[in-house]
Chains A and B, each alone.
Chain A
Amino acid sequence: NAGVTQTPKFQVLKTGQSMTLQCAQDMNHEYMSWYRQDPGMGLRLIHYSVGAGITDQGEVPNGYNVSRSTTEDFPLRLLSAAPSQTSVYFCASGGNEQFFGPGTRLTVL
């Protein structure tokens, strides 16, 4: 099992550009989520999904879109990147024990 995988590991964007952060899991988990981690802070929930076709907003959803067409994949889209979205992004899946991906470090200039 690969667990939770995320791509890319690093990304630099210019303000206004769009991109998609990829997340995949091979554990057949229904629940998946996206968090962002800023310096000196814990993780904050962006969006989550309880199964294919079902998504909902978390604590900080503005500027991000998600969709869930399969159980395995849960991509996060930045529609128009802003410097405030510079952060480390984590994808997670699971139940009581949530498994986190390795993270994507995003810088928006």
Chain B
Amino acid sequence: AQKITQTQPGMFVQEKEAVTLDCTYDTSDPSYGLFWYKQPSSGEMIFLIYQGSYDQQNATEGRYSLNFQKARKSANLVISASQLGDSAMYFCAMRELNQIMIYNQGGKLIFGQGTELSVKP
């Protein structure tokens, strides 16, 4: 069965420093996608970054990068140059991509428990 594990309930980082949020996953499917979402205190879910299991390079989106280590089944989020506005809950999620082949798009997301990041001025 699919499983996502985020072992850091809370993290602190100094403003302008980099921070790594850990995520490990478990799946028996060779095709899958990994996601990170940000949830600020206002409650909305904001998509940050996506990594496909067959992507050769680690995904990057601005200050966000995904450190994808397939053999270790880890997909850590790295935020460079932290800003006060980065304080939020961060969720790692996974979707098995065989569902894409069957349903043409979309697919069930499995979420981790989340990591609460606090950026200190």
Binding site for B on A (CB under 8 A): 29-33, 35, 40-45, 48, 50, 58-59, 88, 90, 92-100, 102-103
Contact = CB atoms under 8 A, between A and B. Distances in A.
Contacts of B104: 30, 50
B109 A45 contact: yes
Interface in B99-114: 100, 103-114
A34 B44 CA distance: 14
Interface string B13-51: 000000000000000000001010100000111010010
Contact of B103 (A31, A43, A44, A100): A31
Interface of B: 4, 33, 35, 37, 43-45, 47, 50, 91, 93, 100, 103-114
Contact of A98 (B4, B44, B109, B112): B109
Contact of B43 (A30, A44, A48, A103): A103
Contacts of B107: 31
Given A42-B4, A42-B93, A99-B47, A29 B106 contact: yes
Contacts of B108: 33, 45, 48, 58
Contacts of A90: 45
A29 B105 contact: yes
23 contacts: A29-B105, A29-B106, A30-B105, A31-B103, A32-B106, A33-B108, A33-B109, A40-B113, A41-B114, A42-B111, A42-B114, A43-B111, A48-B108, A88-B43, A92-B109, A93-B106, A98-B47, A99-B47, A100-B37, A100-B45, A102-B44, A103-B44, A103-B45
A98 B100 CA distance: 13
B15 to A, nearest CB: 27
A30 B114 contact: no
